Amino acid sequence: MSEVHIYHNPRCSKSRQTLALLEEQGIQPSIIEYLKEPLTAADISDLLRKLGFVSARELIRSKEDAYKELNLKDVDDEAQLINAMVEHPKLIERPIVVKGDQARLGRPPEAVLEIL
């Protein structure tokens, strides 16, 4: 059985709800606090693949200050969007739960149950 990982921000209510849901299911995931343990561009590309996302834009939080400050609204270059997430991890949508070669965004938290 594959280990379950959660890319978690303890200050985020959806992230806390998703972690609680996993624990209710008897799952003790490895917790990756991505704001403390920054991801590399390769990590983010791998997550995009596992999520089945076509574009890095789908993983970006557009309401964050950094999104506006970096003027990412008009950026189409995947590498530039991924590098923005590397440099500003708050831009990464959360939480993300990974099991094996699949991942789901915990919005809503129940969405992660599809891969468990």
* Distance of alpha carbon 105 from alpha carbon 95, whole angstroms: 6
* Distance of alpha carbon 73 from alpha carbon 63, whole angstroms: 11
Catalytic positions: 12
Backbone φ and ψ for 68, nearest 5 degrees, come out as -75, -45
Contact 48/59 with Cβ under 8 angstroms? yes
